[in-house]
Amino acid sequence: MKTEQNNLEQLKGKNPFSVPQGYMEGITSQIMNQLPDKPDTREKQVSMFDRIRPWLYMAAVFAGLGLFFKAIVGIQQKEENVSNPLIVKTAVPSESLVAIQAEEDQEYLEYLEERYTDYLFDQEMADSEIN
């Protein structure tokens, strides 16, 4: 253990890595010789169709989505109309609906009043039995 610490103390300020003599002198010329020659590249001419193609794709997607949703909505409407041919839809005039609702409200108020009076009567009877 002490020998390892001694070795670490000796190497503390030094760089333990080394490069062989003359290794870096010809490195750039060696790398450049290994690279292939630069080919002549001309700019590719972009045709009008290549410029318009992304817009055509996007238009086709929107048209397809529109047809898809139109077909789905059309199918659902047909199913609603044909779901049960024995059921007849009747239209009720709105005046009769208002009258029915007013009658139901009146019945509910009478029910609440009856419940409240029963509760008060029961409380009064319970108080009289205690006294």
DSSP H or E segment with residue 30: helix 27-34
Between CA 61 and CA 55 the distance in angstroms is 10
User: Helix count (H) and strand count (E) of the chain?
Assistant: 4, 0
Q: Which residue has the higher pLDDT, 20 or 86?
A: 20
Backbone angles phi, psi at 9, to 5 degrees: -65, -35
The pLDDT score that the predictor gives to residue 80 is 62
Backbone angles phi, psi at 93, to 5 degrees: -60, 145
**What are the tens digits of pLDDT across the range 66-78?**
999 988 887 776 6
Backbone angles phi, psi at 91, to 5 degrees: -100, 130
Tokens of 11: 């190497």
**pTM of the model as a whole:** 0.31
The pLDDT score that the predictor gives to residue 9 is 76
* pLDDT interval class at 33 (50, 70, 90): confident
Tokens of 91: 């239209």
DSSP 23: T
